[in-house]
Chains A and B, each alone.
Chain A
Amino acid sequence: MRKFLSHYGVIFVLVLLCAYYSFATLNQQHPADANTGRKLASFVIQQMPNANVLIAVRDSDDDRVFAEAIRQSLGGASIQPVGIVAGEPRDIVVELRRMGDAGTKLDAIVTHHASAQWTVLGEARLKELANEYPSLANVQVLKPSSYTWPTFLTRGNLLSIGNQVAVTAIIAIAMTMVIITAGIDLSVGSLMALSGVLAAWTIHRIVGEGDPSMMTLTAACFTAILLSAVIGLLTGVMVTAFDIPAFIVTLAVMRIARGLAYKVADGPSPIAIESEAFHSLSAGNLLGIPNPVLLMVALYVLAYILMSHTALGRYIYAVGGNPEAARLSGVPVKRVLLFVYAICGALAGLGGVMEASLFSVGNPNSGVGYELQIIAAVVVGGTSLMGGKGKVIGTLIGALILAVISNGMYLTKVDSYTQMIVFGTLILIAVLLDQLKTRRWKP
Chain B
Amino acid sequence: MIQNQSRWMWMALLVAALGCSRGSGVDVAVSVNDDNDATTPTAAREGTSGVTSESKGIIGFSALTLTNPFFTIIADHLTEEGAKHGYEVIVDDANRDVKSQSEQIDTYITRGAAAIVINPCDRLSIGPAIKKANDAGIPVFTSDLQCVAEDVKITGHVGTDNFGGGKLAGEAMIEALGEAGGKVLVLHFEQAQSCVLRVGGFKEVIDAYNTEREEEKIEVVAELDGGGLRDEGFKATSAAIQSDPDITGIFAINDPSALGAYAALEQAGKADQVKIVAFDGQIDGKQAIKDGKIYADPIQFPDRMGRITMQNIVKYLNGEDFEQITLIPTELYRKADADKDPELN
Contacts and interface: CB of A to CB of B under 8 A. Distances in A.
Contacts of B92: 410, 416
B128 A153 contact: no
B139 interface: yes
Interface stretch (B38-46, B205-213, B278-286): B38-46
Given A15-B12, A125-B318, A140 B36 contact: yes
A119 B314 contact: yes
Interface stretch (A39-47, A234-242, A423-431): A39-47
B51 A27 contact: yes
Nearest to B49: A26
Interface stretch (B97-105, B266-274, B332-340): B97-105
B318 A160 contact: no
Interface residues of B, number: 82
Interface string B244-266: 00000000000000000000000
Interface string A158-180: 10100110000000000000000
A114 to B, nearest CB: 6
A68 interface: no
Given A90-B316, A93-B319, A153-B18, A141 B36 contact: no
B342 interface: no
Nearest to B322: A90
A413 interface: yes
A289 to B, nearest CB: 10
B139 to A, nearest CB: 7
Given A7-B1, A35-B24, A410 B29 contact: no
Given A90-B320, A154-B19, A160-B107, A40 B122 contact: no
A145 B42 contact: yes
Q: Which of B24, B26, B97, B109 has the most CB of A within 10 A?
A: B26
Interface in A114-147: 114, 116-123, 125-127, 130, 138-147
B30 to A, nearest CB: 5
A306 B197 CA distance: 55
A113 interface: yes
Contacts of B128: 279, 283, 358-360
Interface stretch (B3-11, B229-237, B287-295, B297-305): B3-11
Which of A88, A92, A406: most chain B CB closer than 10 A? Answer: A88
Interface stretch (B110-118, B157-165, B167-175): B110-118
B310 to A, nearest CB: 13
A93 B319 CA distance: 6
A359 B99 CA distance: 9
Contacts of B16: 153, 158
A283 B95 CA distance: 23
Contacts of B24: 31, 33, 35-36
Interface extent on A, as a size class? 35 or more
A33 B31 CA distance: 18
Contact of A29 (B11, B23, B39, B191): B23
B131 to A, nearest CB: 9
A205 interface: no
B38 A140 contact: yes
A407 interface: yes
Given A4-B4, A59-B137, A268-B191, A117 B34 contact: no
B32 interface: yes
A112 to B, nearest CB: 10
Interface stretch (A75-83, A212-220, A361-369): A361-369
B47 A117 contact: no
A27 B318 contact: no
A155 B1 CA distance: 31
Contacts of A125: 318-319
Contacts of A158: 16, 19-20
Indicate the member of B29, B36, B190 with the most A CB atoms within 10 Å: B29
B90 interface: yes
Contacts of B11: 15
B15 A141 contact: no
A148 to B, nearest CB: 5
Given A411-B107, A416-B95, A270 B136 contact: no
A411 to B, nearest CB: 6
A371 interface: no
A149 B22 contact: yes
13 contacts: A4-B4, A8-B4, A42-B28, A58-B137, A60-B134, A94-B319, A123-B34, A125-B319, A142-B30, A146-B44, A147-B26, A157-B110, A415-B91
Given A4-B4, A145-B44, A146-B29, 18 more contacts: A18-B15, A28-B45, A31-B23, A31-B24, A62-B135, A90-B321, A117-B114, A120-B317, A120-B319, A126-B34, A145-B27, A154-B19, A160-B110, A268-B190, A366-B99, A411-B107, A416-B92, A416-B93
